[in-house]
Structure formats: C-alpha cells, structure tokens
Structure 1
Amino acid sequence: MFEFFYSEKSSQFYFNLKAQNGQIILSSEMYQNKQGAENGVASVKRNAEDMSKYERKTASNGKFYFNLKASNGQIIGKSQMYSSEAGMENGINSVKNNAPMAGVIDLS
C-alpha cells in the first residue's frame, strides 16, 4: 500500500510503500506538489519489476539498503536499513512483488 503524506515542516509531499505486514519498505524523496508525488508512485509501479533499477548500497555503519531508480537514473525511492544483505534482497523482492498492484491511501 502506498501512503501519501504532506510535511508541514518542509511544505512538501512524499510517500511510503508498505508491505502487507505494515512495515515501510520504500520511502520517496520530497516533492514540491502532490502531482509530483503521484508521478513518483506511478514511476515506482513501472520500475519495481525491473531488477536492473535497484541500486544496492552499504552505509558507513555497515548496514545495507537499496535505491530504486527511474529510467532517467533519478532515485524514486530508498529502502530502510537492513542488517544483512539477505534482508536487503528480501526488501527488494517485497517492493517488486507489492508495488505494481498496490493501492494508494492519501493521508496528506
């Protein structure tokens, strides 16, 4: 499920993708307007099944995370931090399996 939010602090919109267990598996960048965030969700849905769009990373603290990139190379979502590579791969598979058909809840 995608959830839209509005940040009073930054006056911008963003979204999270949640797994069926309610855990956030992908968070977007900030968008100037709601249309931008809606376009971001559409881009996640389009790109989620393409494994070449996932950029696997290791943070300075040794934890693992991934970015999902659009066709133009721009990051459209970042994962949470994982303690293992296997956990990160499970997160990628969760985005791949959940995003394309996920509904949207507007909490903005």
Structure 2
Amino acid sequence: MLKIENKGDSHYFFVVQSAQGNPLFESEPFENQEAVREAITAIKPRIKHPGSFERLTDHEGHFRFALKDPQGKTLGRSKPYGSEAGMENGIRNTQAGILDSSLG
C-alpha cells in the first residue's frame, strides 16, 4: 500500500507498506502533495527497470535499497533488512505498492 503522509513539519512523504502495515520504504521529503504525486507519476513507468533501485549494504551488514527517479536522483530509502533475499522481497513489494496505487 502506498500513501502520502505529512509529518507535521510541512513536508510530505510517500510511504510504501506491506500488507501487514509494516513500512518498506519512505521517500525523501517533498514540499507539497502535488510534488509527491509528480514523483510517483514519473517513476511508475520505470519502476520495473533494474536501474530504478540501488542495492546497498551498510557498515553493520544490513541490506537496504534506494529508489531513483528517471534522472538518477534518490527518491528515498528502505528500512534495513537482515538478508539480501529480504531486501529483494522488499523491492518487489515496493514495486507492487507503487504500481497498484491510484496516486500519481
């Protein structure tokens, strides 16, 4: 599930959650809801493209991914995963959440 959230500081984010409601991905802040919708609209056609996701490993050995827009700018990052397989599953669920959304 994808939703737009306002964190109370006049910044908007889009968040992708699992079917159980666990956060999978949170975007970087946007100035308004329209900017969030524009970013989602821009990424939807490319979400299945391999270059849309950057796979990362932090210094503690956790796996994360970053979602990139068509120009290569980072739109946001995932939560940490304990395994590479978990991260890949998170990527698939993030793709599905964005593609299935009615936003954008």
Which stretches of structure 1, 4 residues or longer, exceed 3 Å deviation after superposition?
A: none
Q: Which has the higher contact order (CA 8 A, sep 6+)?
A: 1
1:79-98 matches, within 5 Å, as 79-98=78-97
Percent identity (aligned): 28
5+ residue gaps in structure 1? none
Q: Output the CA distance in 1 between the equivalents of 2:37 and 2:53.
A: 20
Are 1:6 and 2:9 an aligned pair?
A: no
Q: Output the CA distance in 2 between the equivalents of 1:87 and 1:2.
A: 19
Amino acid paired to 2:33: K
Give the corresponding residue for 2:15. Answer: 16
**Per the alignment, in what secondary structure is the counterpart of residue 72 of structure 1?**
coil
RMSD (Å) for aligned C-alpha atoms = 1.6
1:26-37 matches, within 5 Å, as 26-37=25-36
Query: TM-score, structure 1 length as denominator?
Result: 0.83
Give 1:101 shift: 1.6
Aligned length: 103
5+ residue gaps in structure 2? none
